[in-house]
């Protein structure tokens, strides 16, 4: 079956108004921070929240990339009261009062700004070995929101000037956790970063769709590129496809797609490290636009091969840009410190686990369907759908626009995913 690419795109454009997936949000960092400072005779810290979260929760109009202290100060008391009411610190049956003091603004180049609200805990007669933290801020306004708890300073535990090792990740369904103050909890922090990587690949729809674009043709092979017919099953219907043949065995096909995704992992690991360590910085709008268009190019390759028989090139090339996208999670706040290497490694391990989980869920289903005469059509029309989603996101990101109709569907999607 010969596919006319232009004809396919024209048909797809006619259906754009009924394509719900176009209205989904792609991966965006959605998290606030609690930095803890543990002294010999007291406990302090600070809350950090993005202008987006503050605008959404309080109906403000703070600047996204050029937020000033003058903008924040008129609303500081209201925000502090909210954080106080939404956060509880306790230990050994005692609940500590939160006393706020300094307010600052953290401006980041080409990234969203953060408002910083410092505090100390009152009535701490003796620093406990563990602190119970209950955090409810922003969860009701954003179902995917996460609260990151970081021990920035704890001399007793050997932690000095740490901004990279996340100790706890609080979420809508896990709002209360215990923070150990008696040790550095390096492995606990490492595991927290692994979970963070898994979480961000699962809520990053643009990354997921790129992987799906790679997986779709994994259980078939193009006739024109076949050099070994034993790789495929030739006993299929004459109406199956003139372009594709189904693979013969599960194992080789599975390891093939796993190797392709591994190239993706290697690439995004390189650029994630470069960006998070501030060796290379690219404008976020440019990076997110390239990530969006990468889905379209991977999907177009499924219809009309661009890199003949070398899908790993697509995975690696665009994996580099996806790495800069992942860096928005760790690098957005310029995270540094002694544990950055461990944090990067843990996050990458989590991303890889998340990707493998997607493959384990999707691949067996695709393998069972591969001999059906509808499968070649699934590749074609599924890829067309991915192209449209990609173009939708590209327009939004490249031209900094947001289509209002998407807002009506985001909340139920977030509720489902959260």
Would the pLDDT of 30 be above 70?
A: yes
DSSP codes, 256-323: HHHHHHHHHHHHHHHHHHHHHTTSS---HHHHHHHHHHHHHHHHHHHHS-SSTT-HHHHHHHHHHHHH
Tell me what the pLDDT averaged over the chain comes to: 84
Which residue did the predictor score with more confidence, 199 or 90? 90
How many CB atoms within 10 Å of residue 33?
Answer: 21
- CA dist 2 → 5, 12, 243, 321, 375 (Å): 9, 17, 7, 32, 15
Angle at the Cα of 87 from the Cα atoms of 85 and 90, rounded to 5 degrees: 120
DSSP codes, 295-311: HHHHHHHHHS-SSTT-H
CA dihedral 410→412→413→417, nearest 10 degrees, is 130
Mean per-residue pLDDT for 235-249? 91
Strand partners, 99: 120
Task: Please say whether the beta carbons of 44 and 118 come within 8 A.
Answer: yes
Task: Please say whether the beta carbons of 179 and 130 come within 8 A.
Answer: yes
Angle between helices 375-398 and 284-303 (to 10 degrees): 160
pTM score above 0.85 = no
Least confident of 25-29, 133-137, 384-388: 25-29
pLDDT at position 27 is: 42
Mean per-residue pLDDT for 244-270? 93
pLDDT at position 212 is: 93
Angle between helices 340-369 and 186-203 (to 10 degrees): 40
Q: How far apart are CA 67 and CA 77, in angstroms?
A: 17
- For CA atoms 193, 358, 260, 284, give the dihedral sign: negative
pLDDT at position 19 is: 40
pLDDT tens profile 307-338: 776 788 999 999 999 988 887 766 554 455 55
Task: Please say whether the beta carbons of 216 and 209 come within 8 A.
Answer: no
pLDDT at position 189 is: 65
pLDDT tens profile 63-117: 877 899 999 999 999 999 999 999 999 999 999 999 999 999 998 766 788 999 9
* 3-class state of residue 222 by DSSP: strand
Task: Please say whether the beta carbons of 359 and 258 come within 8 A.
Answer: yes
Would the pLDDT of 200 be above 50?
A: yes
pLDDT tens profile 347-380: 889 999 999 999 999 999 999 999 999 999 999 9
- CA dist 316 → 218, 250, 326 (Å): 16, 24, 15
Q: How far apart are CA 227 and CA 398, in angstroms?
A: 42
User: 408: burial class by Cβ within 10 Å (0-12, 13-18, 19+)?
Assistant: exposed
User: 138: burial class by Cβ within 10 Å (0-12, 13-18, 19+)?
Assistant: buried
Least confident of 25-29, 149-153, 274-278, 299-303: 25-29
Mean per-residue pLDDT for 214-238? 89
Which residue did the predictor score with more confidence, 156 or 260? 260
Would the pLDDT of 163 be above 80?
A: no
Percent of the chain at pLDDT above 70?
A: 83
Mean per-residue pLDDT for 250-264? 93
Task: Please say whether the beta carbons of 131 and 91 come within 8 A.
Answer: yes
């Amino acid at each position: 079956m010969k596919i006319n690419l232009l004809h396919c795109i024209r048909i797809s454009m006619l259906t754009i108004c009924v394509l719900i997936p176009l209205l989904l949000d792609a991966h965006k960092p959605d998290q606030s921070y609690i930095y803890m400072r543990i002294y010999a005779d007291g406990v302090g810290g600070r809350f950090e929240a993005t202008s987006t979260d503050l605008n959404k929760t309080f109906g403000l109009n703070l600047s996204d990339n050029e937020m000033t202290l003058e903008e924040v100060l008129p609303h500081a008391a209201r925000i502090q009261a909210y954080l106080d009411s939404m956060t509880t610190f306790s230990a050994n049956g005692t609940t500590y009062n939160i006393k706020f003091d300094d307010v600052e603004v953290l401006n980041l180049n080409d990234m969203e700004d953060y408002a910083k609200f410092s505090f100390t805990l009152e009535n701490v007669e003796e620093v406990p070995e563990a602190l119970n933290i209950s955090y409810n801020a922003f969860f009701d306004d954003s179902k995917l929101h996460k609260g990151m708890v970081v021990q920035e300073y704890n001399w007793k535990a050997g932690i000095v000037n740490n901004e990279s090792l996340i100790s706890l990740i609080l979420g809508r369904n896990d709002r209360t956790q215990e923070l150990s103050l008696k040790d550095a909890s390096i492995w606990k922090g490492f595991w927290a970063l692994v979970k963070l990587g898994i979480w961000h690949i699962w809520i990053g729809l643009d990354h997921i769709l790129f992987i799906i674009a790679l997986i779709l043709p994994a259980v078939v092979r193009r006739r024109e590129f076949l050099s070994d017919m034993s790789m495929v099953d030739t006993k299929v219907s004459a109406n199956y496809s003139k372009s594709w043949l189904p693979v013969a065995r599960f194992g080789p096909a599975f390891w093939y797609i796993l190797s392709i995704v591994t190239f993706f992992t290697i690439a995004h690991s390189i650029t994630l490290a470069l960006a998070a360590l501030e060796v290379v910085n690219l404008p976020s709008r440019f990076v997110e636009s390239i990530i969006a268009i990468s889905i379209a190019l991977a999907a177009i390759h499924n219809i009309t091969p661009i890199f003949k028989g070398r899908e790993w090139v697509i995975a690696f090339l665009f994996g580099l840009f996806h790495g800069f996208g992942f860096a928005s999670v760790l690098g957005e706040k310029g995270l540094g410190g002694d544990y950055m290497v461990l944090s990067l490694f843990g996050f990458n391990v989590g991303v890889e686990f998340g990707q493998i989980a997607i493959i384990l869920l999707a691949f067996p289903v695709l393998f069972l369907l591969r001999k059906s005469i509808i499968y070649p059509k699934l590749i074609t029309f599924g890829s067309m759908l991915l192209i449209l989603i990609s173009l939708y996101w590209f327009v939004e990101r490249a031209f900094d626009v947001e289509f209002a109709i998407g807002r009506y569907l985001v909340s139920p999607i977030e509720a489902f995913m959260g």
